[in-house]
Amino acid sequence: MTTTVAATFCATLVDEWVRGGLTDAVVSPGSRSTPMALALAADDRVRVHVHHDERAAAFVALGIGVVTGRPAVVLTTSGTAAVELHPAIVEAHHAKVPLLAVTGDRPPELQDVGAPQTIDQTRLYGGAVRWFAAPGVPDATMAERWRSIAAEALRHTIGSPPGPVHLNLAFRDPLVGDAGPLPAGRPNGASWHGAVQVRPEPVDLDLGSLADAVAGRTGVIVAGGGIADPDGVHALASLLAWPVLADPRSGCRTPREATISHFDAILRSAGDRPALRPEIVLRLGSLPASKVLGQWLASLDAWQVGVDADGTRFDPDRNLGALLAADPGAFARRLADEVRPPLDGPSAADADTDPDRDPLVGADHDGGSSSAGPAGLYRAWVAADAEAASALVAGLAHHDEVTEPAIARDLFAALPDGAHLVVSSSMPVRDLEWYAAPRHGVTIHANRGANGIDGVVSTAVGVALGSGRPTAVLIGDVAFLHDTNALLGVAARGVDLTIVVVDNDGGGIFSFLPQAGALAHERFELLFGTPHGVDPGAIAAAHGLDVTRVDRADELAGAVDAAIASGGVQVLVTRTDRATNVAVHDELHAAVAAALAPTTA
């Protein structure tokens, strides 16, 4: 092959990206992107993952960014191939995940003349990208600027907030060539903009006045996604005598006394009880999925403080009285250093052990408010969570068949330490949030930026590639069908991935919404239930994957253990009924409500 300017340009960009910390690229085959594809494949410092489907490829790159904090390149050719990246770019934008989208394009003389596979790719993704650049056809006279283009792309994708960047690269024939000498880089292999920062540094804050404001006051911590230091959160909770309403994605749902795992079930039946209502709410990271929690927060007459690494306002009901830009875990640890512990801080020895006492300690039975201070509210939440957990365990024990709450709870419990779990939106993320018991050792991921159900399996593939750890994904049948192209070549990707498909033949979450009761059954099924009659196991088998059917509740943990032990890509399919699923959820909520009902004198 002859040396070409395009090959040298692309090799320069790749070299600069590697200097900045890039390790992975996901490439979809195509002609116009050839110079960049060859440059990525020629650099043995880059792991290249080839995927036939551009949409799935983008979500694989997203998953790598989710688990590593580093951007991965996703490369496509021109035309509709580039359009296919848009869903993952939107998710990366809202979820603040670094992603470097590179699209091949036709040169200017082939635009607007009917050339094949040619569309207007200028700012194709609109405001969803942190930065867009179209440097034009590579020109040797501009070689001294090539590295700055690559470095600028990295700077924007890992900035504050991190997110997707789009480089649209136009190439003329010949598309195949060798790279010549690269323009000089910085000494010792340094990147123009330095190494990729996996986590932002905490912002300097004057915490003294905030520490004075919270000490000795009743409060709760709502721990959502995006917390890198859960121990710091629990250290603050211990000092303040505040319970931690812990989303599984937060990393804070660990076996600690302050951990409140079943806040959704508690608030459904007891959210108006004064003993549970705080003066201050500290909201760390993004909000949990629970609508009930959101409604309760909106109902409070409390000072609510949000903390997010990039100052993103997670506040759909506009209740925040203050918003701080700081890493949530680091912020909590630093605030703990400033707080003097209350005299009546939480202690296991202080917990009320009278079995006949109202579990909502501190509340009188006609709804009067408690004057017990932080420790009273703390013990009320801890006691309520224990009662709710017992009621849920007892309720699930009545079902020999698989149920969707038990699937989420048992899968989370069965995974080995160090594993990652990707949870689909709609019901799986809610079932995990509502029913999973505390544990250490499993990292939870969910595409909750835009809350879509597309690309979930592909994201899990990316998480498995990026982490190198056993990974599982919990997904409904409709979301699985949205992303069946994720299975293309997945068995050869060298990942340990267990795919758990909950098959209720349609859109299960809609059965919980008002549409289910307001519409005639036939109309509801046509527009919302949407039964498809497709067997997810058969689709997986067509891709050469091992499929296990799980029919009984006591079979899931063993099936997960066997899948992890076997390695590779394993698919577990469980079949449920949508109407029965609603009834099971109602039954469990009723059991918690009964357990938390005020006792009579």
CATH number at residue 285: 3.40.50.1220
Planar angle of CA 402, 403, 407, nearest 5 degrees? 85
Residues 130 and 230 in one domain: no
Q: Is residue 351 helix, strand or coil? A: coil
Residue ending a domain, among 397, 423, 448, is: 397
**In angstroms, rounded to a whole number, what is the distance separating the alpha carbons of residues 330 and 597?**
38
- Cα dist from 86 to 70, 81, 169, 228, 364, whole Å: 19, 10, 17, 28, 54
pLDDT band at 206 (very low <50, low <70, confident <90, very high): low
- Model pTM above 0.85: yes
Backbone dihedral region of 136: left (phi > 0), alpha (psi from -120 to 50 degrees) or beta? left
Judged against a pLDDT cut of 60, whether residue 201 lies above it is answered with no
Residues 165 and 219 in one domain: no
Residues 427 and 445 in one domain: yes
Judge whether 592 lies within some domain: no
User: What average pLDDT does range 255-266 have in this prediction?
Assistant: 96
Residue 501 one-letter amino acid: V
Judge whether 599 lies within some domain: no
**In angstroms, rounded to a whole number, what is the distance separating the alpha carbons of residues 295 and 290?**
9
- Domains of the chain: total: 3
CATH number at residue 445: 3.40.50.970
Q: Mean pLDDT lowest for which of 71-80, 239-248, 294-303, 509-518?
A: 509-518
Residues 245 and 322 in one domain: yes
Q: Is residue 120 helix, strand or coil? A: coil
User: Domain range for residue 550?
Assistant: 404-580
State the DSSP H helix or E strand holding residue 590, giving kind and residue range, or none if neither: helix 578-596
Residues 213 and 232 in one domain: yes
Judge whether 318 lies within some domain: yes
Compare 342 and 120 and report the one with higher pLDDT.
120
Residues 536 and 425 in one domain: yes
User: What average pLDDT does range 142-155 have in this prediction?
Assistant: 94
**In angstroms, rounded to a whole number, what is the distance separating the alpha carbons of residues 326 and 348?**
32
Give the burial class of 554: count Cβ atoms within 10 A of its Cβ; 0-12 exposed, 13-18 middle, 19 or more buried: exposed
pLDDT band at 190 (very low <50, low <70, confident <90, very high): low
The pLDDT tens digits for 477-533 are 999 999 999 999 999 999 999 999 999 999 999 999 899 999 999 999 999 999 999
Q: Mean pLDDT lowest for which of 207-216, 224-233, 355-364, 374-383?
A: 355-364
The pLDDT tens digits for 532-567 are 999 999 999 999 999 999 999 999 999 999 999 999
Residues 252 and 372 in one domain: yes
Residues 449 and 307 in one domain: no
Contact criterion met (CB below 8 Å) for 215 and 339: yes
Residues 311 and 332 in one domain: yes
Compare 34 and 326 and report the one with higher pLDDT.
34
Residues 250 and 139 in one domain: no
